[in-house]
Structure 1
Amino acid sequence: MILMVLDVNDLSVSLTHDPEQQLLRGVSLSIAHGETLAVVGASGSGKTTLANAVLGLLPSTLTVSSGGIELDGQNLSAATETQWRQLRGSALGLVPQDPLSNLDPLYRTGRQVEEVITLHQRISSHEARERSLAALENAGLNEPAELAERYPHQLSGGQRQRVLIAIGTANAPKLLIADEPTSALDVTVQRRILDRLHTIQNETGTAILLITHDLRLAAERAHRVVVLHDGVVVETGESSTVLNHPTQAYTKALVAAVTDVPVTQVPVAEVTAASAVESAAPALLDVRDLTYTYPRASAPALREVSLSIAPGKTLALVGESGSGKTTVTRAVLQLLHGPMSGEVLIDGTNIQNTSRTDRARYRRDVRAVFQDPGASLNPTRSVAASLLEPLRSLGIETSGRPDEVVAEALAAVGLSPEHTDRIPRELSGGQKQRVAIARALITNPKLVICDEPISALDVLVQRQVLDLLAQLQADLGVSYLFITHDLAVARRIAHETAVMRQGRVVDSGSTERVFTEPRSDYTRELLSAIPAFSAA
């Protein structure tokens, strides 16, 4: 008989004040030593509730109404809070999704890794320091001694996520719960991180419960898959079987959202012909030889970057964390301070030499949709107030009444008037991102900068948002600068793709050419690192 590291038996979780309202219903799963089990499903399916139950971190509003959880043979149903604290960080490791809300902004990163080590091991401060640096290095961070002295706000998003991975694996736990552990990372770093987790698994026998909306990741990295829908396990089995030969309608929909993707938006011959025509036409956005160094930085963040976007087209900007993607967007949005060489032109006008009136017009013409709609929407404002704010701040007059303008903006992104008076916490992740898109489009812009707009969304909602963006482009003729670390997304949505590394554009051209005939070793490395997924 194989002793399971984790054994969840007929687990149900309900609202404390209303036991009839169940978030999980009869969930059963198990994970053996050295095994990876992926739990997949849409937002609201119960994945995070399951992880919190296993960690003993359910909020007071939720309770385990039936069933049980065993960790390495130990029944946790009656565990005290003191016992849970002894388990968390030692036998139970966690790599959460959002580093900003899980790292203390007041403490250096090295100290935060040391803390989890000293809480569970009686060792000297010097040895704790050495082990924390080793954990940071094992998580894929170069120069760990230097990074250990930085605060979270001084790290990139990918670096912060890797600090969380170091914290989660520092004590070689029996079970590591990885809740979307690489959602903010580019494919090359993602592969290094997952390879390292696999190495830890081989060395220590750590079992991994992988919570993810990335079915490619689940297919490549998990031994088995559990599919959750509305708090119920609808399908489970070997990952290759479940994802290549799904039997349930919901699983089939998840797989179709990943695999039923056009290689390009139009045939290759048409892309080539269109590119030839567009190269002679004036670009909407034209970035020329842009070079920029952040204050007090030792090296340029951008080095002679040049790229362009034609009217009504999409350029995907891809590359690893720290490659310069975000700096390019800040330059286009006029958010950089200090000297900058090169030019950024919109419709042939250099934005660095504009009057106040021209800048106001520019803010109407160039809008942005960011990665986390929950952070970019005011939590106290209604949907209507959020949509009308840019019109009021920019002095844009409309022909209709405010309620009509809001209803039209919501209809354009597939939302109904019933969402008008809701605040962000009353919306799903996909709905919040639709509101963010509506807010960006309400000024009728020429260019929208989409900065990782779907990376925090599950696969079904990702597809809906991408389809929405494509339809809006067809209807309105808007152009997109699409920042992403997901090359599959770039291939689906973009007409042109530019690959950045260390502040330079190392490859650019039609998306089909970049994917099928890469011209740089780094592009080839990115393409080879895409998780494999093949479905029947």
Structure 2
Amino acid sequence: MMTTQPGSGERRVLSVERLSIDISHEHDTQRVVDDLNFALYAGRTLCIAGESGSGKSLSSLAIMGLLPKMARLPSGAILYGERDLLELPERAMQRLRGREIAMIFQEPMTSLNPLMTVGQQLEETIRRHKLAEGGQATQRAREMLDAVRVPHVEQRLKQHPHELSGGMRQRVMIAMAMVCRPKVLIADEPTTALDVTIQAQILELMRELQREFETALLMITHDMGVVAEMADDVVVMNQGIVEESATARAVFTAPQSAYTRKLLAAVPRLGTAPSRLPVHGTDVTRLEVNGLRVRFPVKRRSPFEVRREVCAVEDVNFTLGAGETLGIVGESGCGKSTTGKALMNMLDFSGSVRLDGRELNGMRGSELKAVRCDIQMIFQDPFAALNARKSVGELVGEPLLVHGLGDADERQRRVAELLEQVGLPAEVALRYPHQFSGGQRQRICIARALALNPKVIIADEPVSALDVSVQAQVLELLESLQREYGLSYVFISHDMAVIEQICHRVAVMYCGQIVEMGSCQQVLHNPQHPYTQRLLSAVPMPDVDQKRDFATLLHVTEVPDPIKPRGHQMPTLRYAESQAGHFVAMA
């Protein structure tokens, strides 16, 4: 196994030596981290990479002294200077935690107090560590939000976490972590749920803060593009064991471990997909969307306030052929998922959506129930989409039961067939969702979507939360099902490499409207619209020789406000056809 070789002049800040972690469940004890060793140096970034269940996050929680009660440390030391953190009393750890060793957690919404404003939470941290009091604490909070490039600071200080976007919440988390100027910053999957441009901004922001404060950065991620972009040194973990430890260049150019090679091979890379994917279907148009518009009313704060509404989707038009996959890409809030829900008739919309010539707008009751046999949806979060109280057999067979198809024995046989189609043994029908991994749960959701033999499937970010190897398996499954049954997909994603791998055409959405549409080759390799170019410039590449310059993206550009007076007429976009089938919105 290779070891990292930092420069001789670099100062070691923290080291983990022969750390092992056991988790006890009743009478069973499982080793989840075994003999972990690494060191953090001032101004350098160490990435711990690996798939879910590899022990990455538990290792970081051990450093912070935040392991769950069922965890036990049979061996090892965590040295911060001359002190072993594992031997420090809790009061001493509380003084260190946040002030000298800080952590950015994976999900900012669950880490921030929903009852306190952003300003109150920042000031609480400042006062707790006795950095300032009163007006000085408020001023320091204001300066820290400025440092992490949060716009309209005065307004943000008064807002609660739910009033901020995912990217803004993550900036607030970074501000809270950096307010004490810690010597060690641990970032646990800090960009997993973020769009590519927001991810790029957060990564560049962490780089800037690291340069300014000489912070040692420990980053935990399963995104190898982020590893290539950020890491000086890399530790690759698999099921609690270190597979490889080396410099980032060594890991990406000459990986020694078979597991590292497999992990890198599974990463979808922009520009490596075939220039033209075969269409497994006929020339039939399955779905026609014309003038699709979705608006949500905004609650008035007073009876005298002008009625307003959110213009979520405006004048969206596209067609989808049999056996074709259309990708819809864009940042959070651009209207991707709302478009998908409108196609499913899950919310009110205006305009026309025709499935095999049948108009879906206005369908209700038994008529809508009948058409649902032909159009189904795979949701982003498989755990939230599955009823935890029902067995897998009940969940997959539920569409058959709702539509009155077959008797109990026939439904049981069909469930077994569906599970085997998605690569799961029939006997898992007796188990419950919590007993499966994320990838397996997504397979169960796909099996349920296939139960009624649909013609169109709306896939809303179906692989965004999955590890790269599991992601590759799910994408391969979707492609094989398309080949076999001629399925049509509307594939919603913010991952450009995944879009290129599975889609025939792609539509780019911005502020509720499609600004560019064409084949993957046209849009992803010859983007014409400035927004598409900006999206593609933010995609991190899993290659240490292709690092992106994210500095230009760090300055937040104000997105047009989608809240308009009721009945507001949005300007109709006009399109230029730069090549056959390649449409670009004109300014």
Query: Normalization by structure 1: what TM-score?
Result: 0.91
> What secondary structure does 1:77 align onto?
helix
From 295, 302, 307, give the equivalent of 1:293: 295
How far the C-alpha of 1:306 sits from its partner, in A, is 1.8
- Structure 1 stretch displaced more, 450-459 or 10-19: 10-19
- Structure 1 stretch displaced more, 291-300 or 356-365: 291-300
Contact 1:245 1:535 in 2 (8 A): no
> What secondary structure does 1:352 align onto?
coil
How far the C-alpha of 1:18 sits from its partner, in A, is 6.8
Alignment of 1:14 with 2:25, yes or no, is no
Which residues in structure 2 correspond to 1:116-515 (within 5 Å)?
116-139=125-148, 141-258=150-267, 263-265=272-274, 267-268=275-276, 281-296=283-298, 300-337=311-348, 340-397=349-406, 400-515=409-524
Q: Which of the pair is proportionally richer in helix? A: 1
From 511, 528, 537, give the equivalent of 1:528: 537
> What secondary structure does 1:312 align onto?
coil
> What secondary structure does 1:315 align onto?
strand
Alignment of 1:28 with 2:30, yes or no, is no
> What secondary structure does 2:372 align onto?
helix
Separation in 2 of the partners of 1:25 and 1:46?
Answer: 9
Cα distance change on mapping 1:203 and 1:535 into 2, 3 Å: closer
Q: Deviations over 1:190-249 (max 9, x none)?
A: 111110000000000112111111111101111111000121111111112112211111
Contact 1:264 1:512 in 2 (8 A): no
Contact 2:400 2:411 in 1 (8 A): no
From 56, 59, 62, give the equivalent of 1:53: 62
> What secondary structure does 2:296 align onto?
coil
Separation in 2 of the partners of 1:298 and 1:147?
Answer: 22
> What secondary structure does 2:528 align onto?
coil
Separation in 2 of the partners of 1:125 and 1:438?
Answer: 57
Cα distance change on mapping 1:306 and 1:426 into 2, 3 Å: same
How far the C-alpha of 1:9 sits from its partner, in A, is 0.4
- Structure 1 stretch displaced more, 203-212 or 299-308: 299-308
Cα distance change on mapping 1:177 and 1:521 into 2, 3 Å: same
How far the C-alpha of 1:144 sits from its partner, in A, is 4.0
Separation in 1 of the partners of 2:39 and 2:27?
Answer: 28
Which residues in structure 2 correspond to 1:56-75 (within 5 Å)?
56-75=65-84
Q: Deviations over 1:348-401 (max 9, x none)?
A: 323223242221123332222222222222223221222223333344446853
AA partner of residue 370 (structure 2): R
Cα RMSD over matched residues? 2.7
How many residues get paired? 527
> Any gaps of 5 or more consecutive residues in structure 1?
none
Contact 2:270 2:500 in 1 (8 A): no
AA partner of residue 528 (structure 2): R
> What secondary structure does 1:225 align onto?
strand
Separation in 1 of the partners of 2:507 and 2:86?
Answer: 52
AA partner of residue 374 (structure 1): F
Separation in 2 of the partners of 1:213 and 1:62?
Answer: 23
Q: Deviations over 1:498-519 (max 9, x none)?
A: 1111222111111111111111
- Structure 1 stretch displaced more, 420-429 or 35-44: 420-429
How far the C-alpha of 1:32 sits from its partner, in A, is 0.4
AA partner of residue 254 (structure 2): H
Q: Deviations over 1:467-501 (max 9, x none)?
A: 11111111222222111111111111111111111
AA partner of residue 416 (structure 1): P
> Counterpart of 2:13?
5
- Structure 1 stretch displaced more, 96-105 or 488-497: 96-105
Separation in 2 of the partners of 1:376 and 1:129?
Answer: 42
Cα distance change on mapping 1:380 and 1:5 into 2, 3 Å: farther
| Percent of residue pairs bearing the same amino acid type | 39
> Any gaps of 5 or more consecutive residues in structure 2?
1-7, 299-307, 546-587
How far the C-alpha of 1:42 sits from its partner, in A, is 1.7
* Larger-Rg structure: 2
How far the C-alpha of 1:126 sits from its partner, in A, is 3.7
> Counterpart of 2:567?
none
Separation in 2 of the partners of 1:453 and 1:284?
Answer: 21
> What secondary structure does 1:367 align onto?
strand
Contact 1:91 1:174 in 2 (8 A): yes
Contact 2:43 2:215 in 1 (8 A): yes
Contact 2:228 2:544 in 1 (8 A): no
- Structure 1 stretch displaced more, 234-243 or 103-112: 103-112
Separation in 2 of the partners of 1:456 and 1:193?
Answer: 18
